[in-house]
């Protein structure tokens, strides 16, 4: 048995020039792999392929340590023959069991010339894989004192044991592999924690939002009930607009969730953009009247027919106009909706308001799903859905400052010209 640690480079003086060249070459390649390959399974597979070559081994294997069950299992096994998948499925080694288990327990590399004559050799691995192990070199993988697994190279090509140079190169490989695995796990853990926190926040926000609408809805239903039972039309007239607004909000919300959650190819059809603009202005007429907003529409320079997904365009305009209606001041609120066909044939729509505009600090975030400054009055889905629909049309949406200081949203939807998009 040979035992080594990495704290001396004396071996470099003893190494044959050919071996040295081989070693430097492979370290250079592996270093490039670590920098360039970002997904762990591909990285591990490439490093294993390299280790097999550098140690001139017939086969190699990476065993990972499961800290819960406290045993080692095969993650990657590369070799010319043998049933690799059975090995991965069936063989697990306790710490101290087999040569890999010994390397893991003592955290020292183990090199044996003929595994079959070594008492520690775990024969079941060969029986399961159908592979015949002779020489074997097992290197423990340790990162910041934590055991990650064991790297093994098996059967030196041409017979004989693995050399001292093989052992040192494999130990270098081992430390790279251990760090790569530990880093990848850390990144994965952080991502998962961030994702869970984001999902939690989104669900809390959405629940709050829907709860508010449902409270409004049930309040108005109670009033309508009272009105009906007491034959009091005053109650019904008062609660009817709240009821209508709440059902509209619920249906908008569901529509936004649906548009947002699945990729969709737009259903392109010819229509008059004025029809969609009229639908939007009808939908917001209640809010516009209540807040006494001046809604100015100008579609004079829009071509009579545009080609787009009609429902999609309706959602885009409704979201932009609703946001503008939320943003305008309580008195003298003004929204301008302008649609025109550019010389290129593209449909350009602008929605401007005289609200406070979008502050520079949040301009980058407003298209993110669930980003909202409206607390429980907004889902933060509106602009995310709007952008998704525009992008699905191959178009663009941008925000800037309107001449009177408010927000100006500009949507460009390319149109087919002479049969081409």
405: left (phi over 0), alpha (psi -120 to 50) or beta: left
Q: Which stretch binds ligand ATP (CB under 6 A): 10-18, 57-65, 151-159, 380-388?
A: 380-388
Q: What is the DSSP string of 204-230?
A: HHHHHHHHHHHHHHHHHHHHHHHHHHT
In this chain, which of 105, 378, 392, 410 binds ligand ATP, going by CB under 6 A? 378
CB nearer to ligand ATP: give 79 or 205.
205
CA 314, CA 256: separation in Å to the nearest integer? 12
CA 97, CA 196: separation in Å to the nearest integer? 38
Q: What is the DSSP string of 121-184?
A: --HHHHHHHT----SEEEEEEEETTEEEEEEEEEEETTSSPPPHHHHHHHHHHHHHHHHHHHHH
Instruction: Provide long-range contacts, Cβ within 8 A and 24+ apart, for 263-266.
Output: 264/392, 265/392, 266/308, 266/309, 266/312, 266/389, 266/392, 266/393
In this chain, which of 372, 388, 393, 411 binds ligand ATP, going by CB under 6 A? 372
CB nearer to ligand ATP: give 97 or 287.
287
Q: Provide the mask over 379-418, with x wherever binding to Mg ion is found by CB under 5 A and - wherever it is not.
A: ---x------------------------------------
Instruction: Looking at residues 144 to 203 of the shown chain, list those that interact with ligand ATP (rule: CB under 6 A).
Output: none
CA 211, CA 244: separation in Å to the nearest integer? 16
In this chain, which of 177, 383, 397, 411 binds ligand ATP, going by CB under 6 A? 383
CB nearer to ligand ATP: give 130 or 375.
375
In whole angstroms, how large is the CA radius of gyration of the chain?
Answer: 34
Closest residue to Mg ion: CB criterion: 382
CB nearer to ligand ATP: give 108 or 376.
376
Residue 335 in the binding site for ligand ATP (CB under 6 A): no
Q: Which stretch binds ligand ATP (CB under 6 A): 61-69, 185-193, 223-231, 381-389?
A: 381-389
CA 131, CA 183: separation in Å to the nearest integer? 32
Q: Distance between alpha carbon 278 and the CA centroid of its chain, in Å?
A: 38
Identify the residue whose tokens are 């294993």.
48
Q: Provide the mask over 313-332, with x wherever binding to ligand ATP is found by CB under 6 A and - wherever it is not.
A: ------x---xx--x-----
CB nearer to ligand ATP: give 71 or 353.
353
**φ and ψ of 98, to 5 deg:** 70, 180
Residue 259 in the binding site for ligand ATP (CB under 6 A): no
Size of the site for ligand ATP (CB under 6 A): 21
In this chain, which of 135, 323, 386, 387 binds Mg ion, going by CB under 5 A? 323
Binding partner of residue 216 among Mg ion, ligand ATP, none, CB under 5 to 8 Å per kind? none
In this chain, which of 149, 174, 216, 382 binds ligand ATP, going by CB under 6 A? 382
- Which residues are within 8 A (CB) of 162 and not within 5 positions of it... i.e. 6 or more apart? 55, 57, 111, 135, 136, 137, 153, 156, 170
CA 414, CA 102: separation in Å to the nearest integer? 66
Q: Which stretch binds Mg ion (CB under 5 A): 39-47, 103-111, 240-248, 321-329?
A: 321-329
Instruction: Looking at residues 343 to 382 of the shown chain, list those that interact with Mg ion (rule: CB under 5 A).
Output: 382
User: Strand, coil or helix: what is 358?
Assistant: coil
| Smallest gap from residue 323 Cβ to Mg ion (A) | 4
Residue 407 in the binding site for ligand ATP (CB under 6 A): yes
Q: Which stretch binds ligand ATP (CB under 6 A): 95-103, 160-168, 186-194, 353-361?
A: 353-361
The tokens of 176 are what?
């790279």
Q: Which stretch binds ligand ATP (CB under 6 A): 114-122, 289-297, 303-311, 369-377?
A: 369-377
Binding residues for Mg ion, rule: CB under 5 A, are 323, 382
Binding residues for ligand ATP, rule: CB under 6 A, are 319, 323-324, 327, 353, 355, 357-358, 366, 371-374, 378-384, 407
């Amino acid at each position: 048995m040979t035992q080594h640690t990495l704290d001396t480079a004396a071996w470099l003086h003893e190494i044959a020039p050919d071996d040295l060249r081989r070693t430097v070459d492979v370290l250079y390649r592996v270093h490039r792999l670590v920098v360039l390959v970002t997904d762990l399974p591909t990285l591990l597979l490439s490093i294993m392929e390299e280790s097999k070559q550098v140690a001139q081994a017939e086969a190699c294997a990476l065993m990972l340590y499961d800290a819960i069950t406290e045993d080692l299992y095969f993650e990657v096994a590369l070799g010319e023959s043998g049933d690799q998948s059975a090995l991965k499925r069936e063989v697990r080694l306790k710490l101290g069991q087999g040569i890999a288990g010994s390397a893991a327990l003592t955290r020292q590399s183990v090199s044996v010339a003929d595994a079959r004559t070594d008492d520690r050799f775990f024969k079941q691995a060969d029986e399961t894989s159908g592979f015949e192990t002779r020489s074997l070199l097992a290197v423990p993988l340790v990162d910041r004192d934590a055991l990650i697994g064991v790297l093994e190279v098996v059967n030196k090509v041409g017979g004989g044991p693995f050399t001292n140079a093989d052992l040192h190169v494999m130990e270098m490989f081992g430390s790279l592999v251990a760090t790569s695995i530990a880093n990848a796990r850390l990144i994965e853990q952080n991502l998962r924690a961030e994702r869970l926190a984001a999902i939690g926040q989104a669900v809390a926000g959405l629940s709050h939002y829907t709860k508010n609408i449902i409270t409004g809805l049930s309040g108005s239903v109670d009033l309508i009930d009272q009105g009906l039972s007491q034959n009091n039309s005053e109650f019904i007239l008062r609660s009817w607009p709240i009821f209508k607004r709440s059902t509209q909000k619920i249906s908008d919300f569901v529509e936004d969730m649906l548009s947002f959650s699945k990729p969709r190819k737009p259903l392109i059809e010819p229509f008059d953009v004025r029809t969609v603009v009229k639908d939007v202005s009808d939908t917001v007429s209640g809010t516009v009247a209540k807040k006494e907003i001046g809604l100015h529409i100008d579609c004079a320079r829009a071509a009579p027919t545009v080609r787009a997904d009609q429902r999609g365009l309706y959602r885009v305009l409704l979201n932009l106009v609703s946001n503008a209606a939320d943003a305008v001041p309580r008195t003298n609120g003004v929204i301008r909706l302008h649609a025109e066909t550019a010389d290129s044939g593209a449909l350009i729509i602008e929605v401007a308001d005289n609200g406070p505009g979008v502050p520079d600090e949040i301009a980058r975030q407003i298209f993110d799903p669930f980003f909202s400054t409206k607390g429980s009055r907004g889902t933060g889905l509106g602009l995310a859905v709007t952008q998704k629909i525009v992008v699905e049309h191959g178009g663009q949406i941008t925000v800037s400052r309107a001449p009177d200081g408010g927000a100006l949203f500009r949507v460009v939807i390319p149109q087919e010209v002479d049969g081409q998009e």
